[in-house]
């Protein structure tokens, strides 16, 4: 299965990833004790896995869009919402926006969304994704497919929520949702998955008695899709990266800790990121179809301090000529 996919021509591509900024922008360049500082690492693709803001107010979105335009140096900037980005979930905001914002007046969700989709955003390389699958091409010749979703299991009444016994990712299961726009494709039809929440068992521990709060249905979809890269956030405590070999699975007990990527904070401070090479230039290139790199890219900690560094990953993506 993977040998056929690996034989197709690919091109080394750099991806920079963050999540859960909650309106926190990079610290000034002189803040040498902060890894999340200006300038953000240059990349071909920039991914933001949601919770752009604290509560989705227009003023907050304006701050983040300004950062995406000015501070992010990437050809393509893919962005999804998260449970805190209330105004991006129009149906939810119409029901609970006044209560959540503690305001006498609702903001305009369409105007907030337009900040990410208007001509100015498009010219800056910003692409806002909802629950969808899209294929993109880069100047380096890469042509790759991304599955994106802002939805997470119900979490204290926030936006983009579904019940835990609901399946938003796999078609034709007993619990498949009737409200899904696009399902997760099966292998080899997706290269990158960009979701706000984690799959069950991967960088999803919250400590104490509540461990493993990720989504079981999303895990099943990941195993079916086997993307090269899966980026998410949501669980701030889970910040980190895991390289998982699917052949190590034993029933439902995935041995995710075996592939955990070590974190060298001193190097991250110097380089303004945690970096990982899984391209063909690396000692151990990623085996597409056999392995997936999972990244929890939350910038903020559980106390909402922007102490975590962005992730930068080099990986091989299919060349357009291989399609």
Name residue 145's beta-bridge partners: 135
Helix (H, G, I), strand (E, B) or coil at 164: coil
pLDDT for 321 equals 77
- Rounded Cα–Cα distance for residues 312 and 60 (Å): 25
pLDDT above 70 as % of the chain: 93
Question: Mean pLDDT, to the nearest integer, of 256-265?
Answer: 79
pLDDT tens digits, one per residue of 30-68: 999 999 999 999 999 999 999 999 999 999 999 999 999
Name residue 176's beta-bridge partners: 167
- The number of CA neighbours under 13 Å toward the Cβ of 129 is 30
Q: Report pTM.
A: 0.94
**Six-digit token string for 277:** 């090479």
| Domain spans, the chain | 2-165+189-215+226-322
Strand order, beta sheet including 274-277: 126-128, 74-79, 43-48, 10-18, 311-318, 274-277
**Six-digit token string for 274:** 């945690």
Per-state percent for the chain, helix, strand, coil, to nearest 5? 25, 25, 50
Q: What are phi and psi of 273, to 5 degrees?
A: -175, 160
Q: Is the per-residue pLDDT at 262 higher than 70?
A: yes
CATH for the stretch 2-165+189-215+226-322:
3.60.21.10
Look-up of token digits 């390289």: 243
Question: Mean pLDDT, to the nearest integer, of 300-314?
Answer: 97
pLDDT for 162 equals 96
Q: Is the per-residue pLDDT at 208 higher than 70?
A: no
| CB neighbour class for 210 (10 Å; exposed up to 12, middle 13-18, buried from 19) | exposed
Q: Is the per-residue pLDDT at 255 higher than 50?
A: no
**Six-digit token string for 126:** 């910003």
pLDDT for 250 equals 53
Name residue 143's beta-bridge partners: 137
Higher model confidence: residue 301 or residue 321?
A: 301
Q: Is the per-residue pLDDT at 285 higher than 90?
A: yes
pLDDT band at 187 (very low <50, low <70, confident <90, very high): very high
Q: What are phi and psi of 108, to 5 degrees?
A: -95, 105
Lowest average pLDDT, out of 123-127, 256-260, 273-277, goes to 256-260
Q: Is the per-residue pLDDT at 297 higher than 50?
A: yes
pLDDT band at 7 (very low <50, low <70, confident <90, very high): low
- Rounded Cα–Cα distance for residues 167 and 176 (Å): 4
The rounded radius of gyration (Å) of the Cα atoms in the chain is 19
Q: Which of 31, 7, 85, 14 is nearest to 276 (CA)?
A: 14
Q: In 96-200, where do the E strands start and end? A: 126-128, 132-137, 143-149, 152-153, 161-162, 192-195
Q: Is the per-residue pLDDT at 247 higher than 70?
A: yes
pLDDT band at 80 (very low <50, low <70, confident <90, very high): very high
Q: Is the per-residue pLDDT at 253 higher than 60?
A: no
Q: Is the per-residue pLDDT at 1 higher than 50?
A: no
Q: Is the per-residue pLDDT at 209 higher than 80?
A: no
pLDDT for 212 equals 87
Q: What is the crossing angle of helices 109-117 and 90-101, to 10°?
A: 120
Q: Is the per-residue pLDDT at 308 higher than 50?
A: yes
Look-up of token digits 């006498």: 104
Q: Is the per-residue pLDDT at 151 higher than 80?
A: yes
Question: Mean pLDDT, to the nearest integer, of 84-103?
Answer: 91
pLDDT for 226 equals 98
Q: Hey, which of 5-19, 88-102, 149-163 has the most confident mean pLDDT?
A: 149-163
């Amino acid at each position: 299965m993977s040998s056929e996919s690996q034989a197709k021509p690919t091109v080394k591509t750099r991806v920079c990833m963050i999540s859960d900024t909650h309106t926190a922008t990079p610290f000034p360049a002189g803040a040498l004790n902060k890894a999340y500082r200006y300038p953000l690492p240059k990349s071909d693709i920039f991914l933001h896995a949601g919770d752009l803001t604290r509560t989705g107010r227009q003023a907050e979105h304006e701050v983040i869009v300004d950062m995406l335009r000015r501070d992010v140096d990437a050809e393509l900037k893919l962005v999804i919402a998260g449970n805190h980005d209330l105004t991006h979930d129009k149906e939810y905001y119409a029901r609970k926006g006044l209560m959540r914002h503690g305001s006498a007046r609702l903001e305009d969700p369409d105007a907030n969304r337009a900040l990410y989709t208007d001509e100015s955003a498009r010219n800056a390389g910003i692409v806002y994704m909802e629950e969808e699958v899209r294929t993109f091409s880069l100047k380096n010749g890469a042509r790759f497919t991304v599955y994106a979703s802002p939805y997470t299991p119900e979490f204290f009444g926030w936006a983009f929520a579904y019940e835990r016994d609901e399946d938003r990712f796999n078609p034709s299961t007993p619990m498949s949702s009737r409200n899904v726009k696009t399902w997760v494709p099966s292998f080899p039809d997706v290269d990158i998955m960009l979701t706000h929440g984690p799959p069950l068992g991967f960088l999803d521990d919250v400590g104490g008695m509540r461990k493993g709060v990720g989504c079981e249905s999303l895990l099943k979809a990941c195993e079916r899709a086997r993307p090269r890269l899966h980026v998410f956030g949501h669980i701030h405590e889970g910040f980190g990266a895991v390289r998982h070999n699917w052949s190590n699975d034993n029933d439902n007990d995935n041995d995710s800790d075996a592939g955990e990527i070590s974190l060298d904070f001193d190097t991250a401070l110097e380089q303004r990121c945690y970096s990982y090479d899984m391209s063909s230039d690396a000692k151990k290139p990623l085996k597409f179809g056999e392995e997936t790199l999972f990244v929890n890219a939350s910038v903020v900690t559980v106390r909402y301090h922007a102490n975590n560094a962005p992730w930068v990953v080099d990986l091989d993506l299919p060349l357009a000529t291989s399609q």
